[in-house]
Amino acid sequence: MTPQPDPIAATATTSKPGAMTPTVSAQVAAGWMHTARFLITAPELHFLPALQVPEIAFVGRSNAGKSTCINTLTQQRQLAFASRKPGRTQHINLFALGKQGITDAVLTDLPGYGYAAVPRQDKIRWQQVMANYLVTRENLTGIVLLCDPRQGLTELDEILLEVIRPRVEQGLKFLLVLTKADKLKKTEANKALSIARLQAGGGQAMLFSATKRRGIDDVSRQLWHWAHPPVDPTAPAATEATPPANPVDDTPA
């Protein structure tokens, strides 16, 4: 089966006024990703502040290449490795995104699951924290599941897919990122991508390699689009009752 081109990759690379679906250049998306800064860490969902901006969660099995992917996308060497600091390894870690210090989206790093050395009780607790976050976080807009295609989806990945399926069916965005693509031959990579597209259900799948810098533009642009949906000109104008996307307190001190 010939893999279909990625919808985002197949679109124009610059914004076109009047186009049906606005597109973003790789440069703009990369600049936006680079603004990522640590926001907050929390052991459970109820410690997180309620936010109005779109939130995109990165999930995956331990060693899938998630930290490397986040650091590569944000062009920061240590950002996601901050999630590994003592005390944060089983925490929900949030990073703010947005130019000029104005947060217009949030990236969530959910530390990897399935690490053999973690005690069973801790594993179960973490799976519950994750499931609770993925099912109930209100501003969650999209989920990026990282997977090493040499191993394929593991049992825990499949469980996670089941957990999020109802939300994906209701419109939650989903992207399956096949990491370490440099480890695969071209034919293997194409086959893995075809399978991943089927496994992604209504979502998408992309190949990624931090080493070979493959897929960075496509994933960055996809995330930008998730966080900046086209404005519906027919939608009623926001009323005063609607909180702003990023409430900023600019009252003089």
User: Which residues are at the interface with ligand GDP (CB under 6 A)?
Assistant: 60, 62-68, 112, 179-180, 182-183, 209-211
In the complex, least distance from residue 78 CB atom to ligand GDP, rounded to whole angstroms: 12
Q: How far apart are CA 57 and CA 158, in angstroms?
A: 17
- Of 24 and 153, the one with the shorter C-beta distance to ligand GDP is 153
Nearer to ligand GDP, 123 or 183 (CB): 183
Q: Which two tokens stand for residue 151?
A: 């191993």
b/e code 219-235 from CB counts within 10 Å (16+ = b) = bbbbbbbbbbeeeeeee
Tokens for 122, please give them: 């801790």
Least distance (Å) between residue 31 CB and ligand GDP: 22
**In the beta sheet, which residues pair with residue 176?**
145, 205
Crossing angle of helices 216-227 and 26-33, rounded to 10°: 80
- Max Cα distance, the chain (Å): 63
Q: Least distance from C-beta 18 to ligand GDP, angstroms?
A: 38
Q: Could you give the CA distance from residue 230 to residue 178 in angstroms, rounded to a whole number?
A: 27
- Give the residue with the Cβ less far from ligand GDP, 103 or 209: 209
Based on CB atoms, which residue is closest to ligand GDP, 23 or 208?
A: 208
Q: Are the beta carbons of 61 and 156 closer than 8 angstroms?
A: yes
Nearer CB in complex with ligand GDP: 8/64: 64
Residue type at 41 in one-letter notation: T
